[in-house]
Amino acid sequence: MSENKRYRLTPEEAEIVFKFRGLKAASEEAGVDIGSVKHGWLKTKEASLFFKNPLHKDDAENKLEELCKKLIEDMQKFAPKYPTIKRSAEKKEYLLVIDPADIHIGKLADSFETGEDYNNQIAVKRVKEGVQGILNKAQGFPIDKILFIGGNDILHIDTPSRTTTAGTKQDTDGQWYSNFLIAKQLYVDILLQLIAIAPVHFTFNPSNHDTMSGFFLSEVMKTYFKQNKEITFDCSMRHRKAYRFGNNLIGTTHGDGAKKQDLPLLMATEFPIEWAKTKHRYVYTHHVHHKFSKDYIGITCESLRSPSSSDGWHHRKGYQHAAKAVEGFIHHKENGQVARLTHLF
């Protein structure tokens, strides 16, 4: 049986402890916010003690609290009761898929290093221009429903340390919290634009750059539009999603998980009812920023281009020069995919 040992402090050690206990009072007396003191040394003639202040909150924590507070206030202020939209009685048999893939809000590229610039201003401009370009090209089709694909590295980083979810450092434009708010406003603007055309279903795809922030953003959108009956949401963390439109099965995934050749069996296994009730099946993937399309048994797999430019690391590795674009698709309720819509930059 072990004994609990008790230790006596020397007078010098006791003096240090008492100094530490009086740190808050001393900080207040000096007009210093105790929360801003990260660490320090307490010293006497014969001993010294390094301490970390348990009351300290770094800038990232403070910003997180500010962001959460702002989001809650914003959503409480907004979330209005939307008027019911009167749709025309015209028979509409087309689904418009809009998929602005791999936007990477927060990515920074400098033309001096990579040959072209990319920052938040360029990102927002391209996505809005691309979505409008898709809508212009879709005008000849009577749209019954819009499927909007969200997530897929909407944000470039996922931590205050400017890293991806896995911890990979990134070149960034702006702080993580300002990037989040930019992405939020971008989604709000686009979704309001789409709702005016047809009812919208928002599907969230978890991704490798922003696993947490992307999910958080999708839930914010769901809350933001909670009183709008013209939009529905799938914000689950399932890595593969499926949406059925008539005779169409439309699968989506980020593309950093299962191999493309495994997607047919995975989709058939994970969504057996949707698979059984459809004839035309597609799965749209992302992640690689370039076009790939292949017919497998029972399903077509297609990766989408990105509107974002290459950063320094991708430039050095030669992972660039793919066409930059926002893409969309038209699906007929019975006849499947009848048009690809591409807005190039």
- Cα–Cα distance for residue pair 241/274, rounded to 1 Å: 11
Please list the pLDDT of the chain residue by residue as tens digits (345 residues).
555 666 666 766 666 665 666 666 666 776 766 666 666 666 666 667 666 666 665 565 566 667 767 776 776 666 767 778 888 888 899 999 999 999 999 999 999 999 999 999 999 999 999 999 999 999 999 999 999 999 999 999 999 999 999 999 999 999 999 999 999 999 999 999 999 999 999 999 999 999 999 999 999 999 899 889 999 999 999 999 999 999 999 999 999 999 999 999 999 999 999 999 999 999 999 999 999 999 999 999 999 999 999 999 999 999 989 999 999 999 999 999 999 999 999
Domain-embedded: residue 3: no
**Selection from 4, 10, 73, 119 nearest residue 220 by Cα:** 73
User: What range defines the domain where residue 35 resides?
Assistant: 11-52
Enter the tokens of residue 281: 């099946």
Which residues are paired to 141 by β-bridges? none
DSSP-derived secondary structure letter, 83: P
- d(CA 53, CA 37) in angstroms, rounded, equals 7
- State whether 256 and 332 are in the same domain: yes
Total Cβ atoms within 10 A of residue 122: 18
Question: Domain containing 239 — which CATH number?
Answer: 3.60.21.10
Question: By the 8 A CB rule, do 281 and 275 touch?
Answer: yes
Q: Are residues 39 and 112 in the same domain?
A: no
| Tokens representing residue 13 in the block | 């050690």
What is d(CA 250, CA 337) in angstroms, rounded to the nearest whole number? 10
- Its pTM stands at 0.79
Q: What whole-number distance in Å separates Cα of residue 203 and Cα of residue 132? A: 19
- Same domain assignment for residues 102 and 200: yes
Mark whether 289 and 192 lie in a shared domain: yes
According to DSSP, the β-strands at 231-234 and 200-205 are parallel
Instruction: Report how far residue 148's alpha carbon sits from residue 96's, in angstroms, rounded to the nearest whole number.
Output: 8
Q: Quick one: 209 and 283 in the same domain?
A: yes
Nearest to 157, CA basis, from 102, 107, 218: 107
Total domains in the fold of the chain = 2
